[in-house]
Copies of this chain bind each other. A is one copy, B any other.
Amino acid sequence: MVKINQNYAKLPGSYLFSTIGKKVREYSEAHPDADIIRLGIGDVTQPLAPAIISALHSAVDEMGAAETFRGYAPDLGYEFLRNAIAEQDFKARGCDIEPDEIFVSDGAKCDCGNIQEIFGLDNKIAVCDPVYPVYVDSNVMAGRTGTYDEAAQCFGDVIYMPCTEENGFAPELPGEVPDLIYLCFPNNPTGAVIKKDALQAWVDYANKNGSVILYDAAYEAYISEPEVPHSIYECEGAKTCAIEFRSFSKTAGFTGLRLGCTVVPKELTVEGQKLWSLWARRHGTKYNGAPYIVQRAGEAVYSEEGRRQIKEQIAWYMGNAGIILDGLKEAGYTAFGGVNAPYIWLKTPDRMTSWEFFDYLLSEAGVVGTPGSGFGPGGEHYFRLTSFGSRENTVKAMDRIRKL
């Protein structure tokens, strides 16, 4: 008699963004005339840059001719893309990462969710609180987190690292040593960043204690301040303790195109085994590569033209972030982030819970954001807005919020 994976039953409620979608759908059905502005899910709205569109068209033409058609991609991804990533994202910043330490994939979400599979079930994970739900949920599904405590909104076997206004939303080194440490900077959802010396302390901590850092750098392209590291490999010794995830989703608007990569340095060994080999095996067995045309689009992101165009696009989104930050300040809110990240993290007024504020903002202003508590108990009384809306909608949303 077949049995299901009972760990799924431990997951609290449905996936955050599915719940938001459902609530908004229900509200729209009840209020068909409502003009709803979505600043909730971190989805981009700007069209793909011309250099990327042009690369896509060329690659599509290649797929239509026998001489240039491409079938299965190489296991790690095409060299042209891995070379560009190694050169521009890493070597240009002084990080000694080789193209064959880069695994091209269909996005950082998938890689962040799948990476835990190469580790034993008896590892203890540490996550920031609040945190992007995929890190915890994928470990719950695997059975690595213990049971869920409804009252505390926590899993028994997870080390939660509070990220609060007091510590500048940067976690402290935990007293109990975790085996796997998830870090994300610039942070989703708080928009906080980590300075190089603070990140170096994490690297030293991991190397000293035999932990592995799973570093999500999906938002590095939004960094505007010079002293903020774009990659964990800017820190000394990171190659022996860290895996890094990178994404084209927010960098170049690839949310609907799907492309990311994971860096597993060859020097990174656990119990005498190269994690590179384990991830290569997982990649080769349970995955089959990102589409050729999308990898060519990724290559175009690194062309001179592409670089200029996506820089403009990011600057444009950060213009939205400025509008949101200014609007919130004028309306009397306390808000964080929005300087090195596309996310603005605000305190709900009058100690409203995050979901109360969600309902309030949806019904009174027609604005959809993301409840902070959806990212963990530490997110309670906070709320996330994103700068990915259109300019018009962002301005309109802030007007409405100011008038509340």
Chain A residues in contact with chain B, CB under 8 A? 1-6, 8-9, 11, 14-15, 17-18, 41, 43-48, 50, 53, 56-57, 60-61, 63-66, 68-73, 75, 106-107, 109-110, 113-114, 117-123, 133-134, 137-138, 141, 179-180, 209-212, 253, 255-258, 270-271, 273, 275, 278, 281-282, 284-294, 390
Contacts and interface: CB of A to CB of B under 8 A. Distances in A.
B291 A258 contact: yes
Nearest to A56: B60
Contact of A138 (B113, B253, B286): B286
Contacts of A47: 63-66, 68-69
A326 B47 CA distance: 53
A284 B133 CA distance: 11
A70 B141 contact: no
A117 B8 CA distance: 10
Nearest to A116: B5
30 contacts: A3-B122, A4-B120, A4-B275, A5-B117, A5-B118, A5-B119, A11-B281, A14-B281, A14-B284, A17-B284, A18-B284, A43-B71, A44-B71, A47-B63, A48-B63, A53-B64, A60-B60, A70-B256, A73-B256, A106-B106, A109-B286, A110-B286, A113-B286, A114-B286, A117-B141, A137-B285, A141-B286, A256-B291, A257-B291, A257-B293
Contacts of A56: 60, 63, 293
Contacts of A390: 66
A162 to B, nearest CB: 23
A123 B18 contact: no
A290 to B, nearest CB: 7
A256 B2 contact: no
Q: How many copies of the polypeptide does the oligomer hold?
A: 2
Contacts of A64: 47-48, 50, 53
Name, among A9, A44, A65, A255, the residue most crowded by chain B CB atoms within 10 Å (CB to CB): A255
A225 B94 CA distance: 61
Contacts of A289: 256, 258
A1 B366 CA distance: 49
Contacts of A14: 281, 284
Contacts of A122: 3
A210 B1 contact: yes
B71 A256 contact: yes
For the complex of A and B, list the 10 residue pairs with the smallest distance between their C-beta atoms, beginning with the closest.
Answer: A113-B286, A3-B120, A43-B71, A53-B64, A1-B210, A2-B179, A71-B255, A47-B69, A70-B256, A15-B284
Contact of A57 (B44, B57, B288, B292): B57
Nearest to A282: B141
